[in-house]
Amino acid sequence: MVVPVSKGSDAVNRNEGRETWRFDTLAVHGGYAPEPTTKAVAVPIYQTTSYAFDSAQHGADLFDLKVPGNIYTRIMNPTQDVLEQRLAALEGGVGALALASGQAAVTYSILTIAGVGDNIVASNALYGGTYNLFAHTLPQYGITVRFADYRKPDAFGPLIDEKTKAVFVESLGNPDHEYHEEAVERLGDDHDPNAQPDIELIEHNMAYLAKTWPRKRRGTR
């Protein structure tokens, strides 16, 4: 999922200076610079669970997030970091986070921005697992999900209030390939970003990008 995060084994954005690269070049080389010893162009697979610390203080600073670096592979890994930086470059995102499944990505995207008392507005054309997450699991965390009829583009707007943190759609929808562009464009036209500066559009699958959405956007794949 494409999200604003700061990650990386050396806190270096390896996409800097590559703004003129085209999509195909980024797909092959984005997020990676050949390491200085071998000059290998292919991304190495770092098969390690743990990393060396320069000192006990360095290790403490890493765990306190005072300095950038690798702590433990289940938290970050240099190979995964290349994937995340590459995806961010391809999608035009600030950063990316690679997870083990689409369901995990959807869960992270909601729990990052919503808490007890908040709500999200979602299309009712959803993958079954996502529907169960929204209808049954998130309410246990105090997050309400309001479902809008995807066949009625005007159905989304009335469900949004001051506690709405996100609008969630699958584009294309599963399993019937529903398309939500008209609904998203109407929301972009009708809602004042100054009145609700924190609301986000989350697009799962991201088959299109609605150019009229005036606020922050996230995507999950």
Domains of the chain with bracketed CATH: 23-91 (no CATH), 102-220 (3.40.640.10)
> Whose structure tokens read 């609008």?
167
Task: For residue range 58-84, list pLDDT tens digits in order.
Answer: 999 999 999 988 998 888 899 999 999
Which own/partner contact pairs does 27-31 have at CB distance under 8 Å and 24+ positions apart? Answer: 27/86, 27/90, 30/85, 30/86, 30/89, 30/90, 31/81, 31/82, 31/83, 31/84, 31/85, 31/86, 31/87, 31/88, 31/89
pLDDT over threshold 90, residue 3: no
pLDDT over threshold 50, residue 119: yes
Q: What is the CA radius of gyration of the chain?
A: 20
Identify the CA nearest to 13 among candidates 1, 22, 4, 24. 4
Report the predicted TM-score, pTM, of the whole model to 2 decimal places.
0.69
Q: Which residues contact 174 (CB under 8 A, 6 or more apart)?
A: 126, 127, 205
Task: For residue range 127-160, list pLDDT tens digits in order.
Answer: 888 899 999 999 999 999 999 988 887 888 889 8
* CB of 207 closer than 8 Å to CB of 173: no
* CB of 191 closer than 8 Å to CB of 158: no
pLDDT band at 214 (very low <50, low <70, confident <90, very high): very low
